[in-house]
């Protein structure tokens, strides 16, 4: 029988740890961590994610600021806001929620965020340092996944990990983290141009799906007893739900779960861990000023 990796539960545990530290900081008269988020436009998914991030700040006692800008915001206006937050000493870390409207370069925006406030871990300096194993802001989702594996005592040393997807924010940084000394997994990344994806996936001890294609992973791609981590969060039309859509992962859960030793659900698996990783990075940024 498979076990569920309960990201929501682990995230609550970590939030309690962070909240305790915030209370101690308050009692000691130290600065309270402050996370800011910029949300451009009205993308439904982004609205939900940012709302969760703001709520998580409240739960742990952080200060938070949400800056909403209209779809029509120019690239220069957004860059101006980013520079403002870079030089605002009250803000320890901030994020610009992606995706951005088409007329704005995500690369330019990401590169303009001060590396020391880039709590998403997307800035080239932070990604580069992470590759070298230097302690920095580790990309939130990859860190959340390694933390889930660690807290569930899932062995990674010598394990064969297959990651489906090579995005800059999940697949590629995750492949680096998992192959680091101390984690010691043997990592394969498969992508849209890979051959024999099914055969490669079915050799994985730990299979991680991060391509954003709902229900891509089927039972024939999973080894008996494998650990399956689902990073997908696509809104799929669903007439029976109140919202009209259902958050759907990259894994066909019902078909795959019976073959697994452990599996993450969607929602309630990786998603909550991304948010606590962001809180953790903000706390680190604040501590650096002590
Ligand atoms: N869009 C989807 N995931 C993320 C994330 O982790 N950070 C930001 N800034 N945007 C996202």
pLDDT score at 45: 87
- Does residue 54 register a pLDDT over 90? yes
pLDDT in tens, 260-273: 999 999 999 999 99
In this structure, the residue with its CA closest to atom 3 of ligand 1 is 98
pLDDT at residue 219, rounded to an integer? 98
- Summarize the confidence of residues 41-47 as an average pLDDT: 91
Residues 247 and 270: beta-carbon distance below 8 Å: no
Q: Average pLDDT of 43-58? A: 94
pLDDT mean across residues, the chain: 97
Q: How far apart are CA 266 and CA 259, in angstroms?
A: 17
User: What pLDDT was estimated at residue 190?
Assistant: 98
Taking only the tens place, the pLDDT of each residue in 75-130 is 999 999 999 999 999 999 999 999 999 999 999 999 999 999 999 999 999 999 99
Question: Is 56 a residue whose pLDDT tops 90?
Answer: yes
Condensed to tens digits (0 to 9), the pLDDT of residues 210-244 reads 999 999 999 999 999 999 999 999 999 999 999 99
pLDDT of residue 57: 98
User: pTM to 2 decimals?
Assistant: 0.95
The CA 259 to ligand 1 mean position distance, Å, reads: 31
Give tens-digit pLDDT for 125-134.
Answer: 999 999 999 8
CA-nearest residue, atom 8 of ligand 1: 97
The residue whose C-alpha atom lies closest to atom 9 belonging to ligand 1 is: 97
Q: How far is the CA of 224 from the centre of ligand 1 (A)?
A: 33
Residue 44: its pLDDT value, please? 87
Q: How many CA atoms lie within 13 A of 53 on its CB side?
A: 32
- Is ligand 1 within 6 A of the CB of residue 95? yes
pLDDT, tens only, 60-83: 999 999 999 999 999 999 999 999
Residue 81, pLDDT score:
98
Contact between 200 and 194 (Cβ < 8 Å): yes
Report whether pLDDT(145) > 90: yes
Phi first, then psi: give them for residue 243, nearest 5 degrees: -75, -20
Does 276 sit in the ligand 1 pocket, CB within 6 Å? no
> What's the sign of the alpha-carbon dihedral 86, 88, 89, 95?
negative
**Ligand 1: nearest atom to the Cα of 139:** 6
């Amino acid at each position: 029988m498979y076990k569920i990796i309960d990201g929501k539960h682990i995230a609550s545990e970590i939030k309690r740890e962070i909240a305790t530290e915030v209370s101690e900081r308050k009692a000691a008269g130290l600065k309270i961590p402050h996370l800011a988020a910029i949300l451009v436009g009205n993308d439904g998914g982004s609205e939900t994610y940012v709302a969760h991030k703001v709520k998580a700040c409240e739960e742990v006692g952080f200060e938070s600021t949400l800056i909403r800008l209209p779809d029509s915001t120019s690239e220069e206006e957004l860059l101006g806001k980013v520079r403002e937050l870079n030089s605002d000493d009250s803000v320890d870390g901030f994020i610009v929620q992606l995706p951005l409207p088409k007329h704005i370069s995500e690369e330019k925006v990401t590169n303009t965020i001060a590396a020391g406030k880039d709590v998403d871990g997307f800035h080239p300096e932070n990604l580069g340092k992470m590759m070298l194993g230097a302690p920095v802001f580790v990309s939130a989702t990859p860190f959340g996944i390694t933390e889930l594996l660690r807290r569930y005592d899932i062995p990674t040393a010598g394990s064969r990990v297959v990651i489906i997807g090579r995005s800059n924010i999940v697949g590629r940084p995750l492949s680096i983290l998992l192959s680091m000394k101390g984690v010691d997994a043997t990592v394969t990344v498969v992508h849209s141009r890979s051959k024999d994806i099914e055969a490669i996936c079915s050799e994985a001890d730990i299979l991680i799906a991060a391509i954003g294609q709902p229900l891509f992973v089927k039972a024939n791609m999973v080894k008996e007893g494998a650990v399956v981590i689902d990073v997908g969060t696509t809104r799929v039309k669903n007439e029976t739900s109140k919202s009209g859509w259902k958050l759907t992962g990259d894994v066909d859960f019902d078909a795959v779960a019976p073959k697994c030793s452990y599996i993450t659900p969607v929602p309630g698996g990786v998603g909550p861990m991304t948010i606590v990783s962001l809180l953790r990075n903000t706390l680190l940024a604040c501590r650096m000023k002590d």
